[in-house]
Amino acid sequence: MGNLTKEQIEQLAEHCENAELQAYEITKITDDYPQMTYEDAFDIQWEIRRRKEARGHKIVGMKMGLTSWAKMSQMGVEHPCYGFLADYFSVPEGGEVKHDELIHPKIEAELAFVTKAPLKGPGVHIGDVLRATDFVLPAVEVIDSRYKDFKFDLKSVIADNSSSTRFFTGGRMADVGDLDLRNLGVVMEVNGEVVEVGAGAAVLGHPAASVAMLANMLGERGEELPAGSFVMVGAITAAVQVNKGDSFCVRYQDLGTISGRFV
């Protein structure tokens, strides 16, 4: 159950969204609302989503965050979170991100699943996800927590749309049956230097487990993942800070490359 009033949820949604739109830092909202529940945090996120849709933006996908056991322990959180992806978050492969529009961006190498059948929790498992998957694409997520110094707790980050801000997708699409998703290797370079390597198993042991968890978390709110959903499953590599002028290239085993620049 939630502890915040409808007015408080609307105020906090405006507060967090303004920080995103105008690129300024805020302090974590649980400092001011320690009584806040997870349900409140998701209510705030869904209110931000509603605000964007009311202004004419389309929601083009979903993302899972904090999906590595290492990242969960690093951030001191006990389970992953999700966020939504708005149309203006999408950057074409090889494209540019304006660094001044963001606060302290970092990039993560990910995989994205595109579905061909709906997934509705509870009880969704990896097999359901693989059966419902149309194809898999490589993706790079740009995360940008609105919280000062990237310091937050799980409730605060959920309310901040799980640090979502931009994403690149491209490379090659592939059938799930043709990929060894757990062992799929990724190499990230920034300015020509290898900064991170990883494999698909970094995402909850199997990338499809992340999509299953998302469907089950959405099911708790009576929501589903419709057919045709685009879902980024969470980081295969650690998040790497990027500065103005940096360029990156991520190479994915069997899925090509994604590159981009921060200007």
pLDDT digits (tens, 9 = 90+) for 163-206: 999 999 998 999 999 999 999 999 999 999 999 999 999 999 99
Average pLDDT over residues 201-221: 95
pLDDT tens-digit readout, 119-151: 999 999 999 999 999 999 999 999 999 999 888
H/E segment holding residue 240: strand 240-241
Predicted pLDDT at 150:
81
Predicted pLDDT at 153:
87
- Beta-strand ranges (E) seen in 170-211 are 185-190, 193-199
Average pLDDT over residues 231-260: 96
Instruction: Check: CB of residue 63 under 8 Å from CB of residue 207.
Output: no
Predicted pLDDT at 68:
82
Task: Give the gyration radius of the chain's Cα atoms.
Answer: 17
pLDDT tens-digit readout, 246-261: 999 999 999 999 999 9
Structure tokens of 15?
């507060």
pLDDT band at 23 (very low <50, low <70, confident <90, very high): very high
Q: 16 to each of 5, 12, 47, 58, 206, how far by Cα in Å?
A: 16, 6, 11, 19, 32
Structure tokens of 92?
């074409």
Instruction: Check: CB of residue 245 under 8 Å from CB of residue 263.
Output: yes
Predicted pLDDT at 171:
85
Predicted pLDDT at 173:
95
Chain center to CA of 116:
20
Which residue in 249, 69, 59, 87 sits closest to 171, CA to CA? Answer: 249
Average pLDDT over residues 92-120: 97
Instruction: Check: CB of residue 196 under 8 Å from CB of residue 238.
Output: yes
Query: Are β-strands 164-169 and 96-97 bridged in parallel, bridged antiparallel, or unpaired?
Result: unpaired
Cα 133 to Cα 127: distance, rounded to the nearest angstrom: 10
Residue 90: pLDDT above 80? Answer: yes
Residue 72: pLDDT above 80? Answer: no
pTM: 0.96
Q: Which residues pair with 189 in a beta bridge?
A: 194, 249
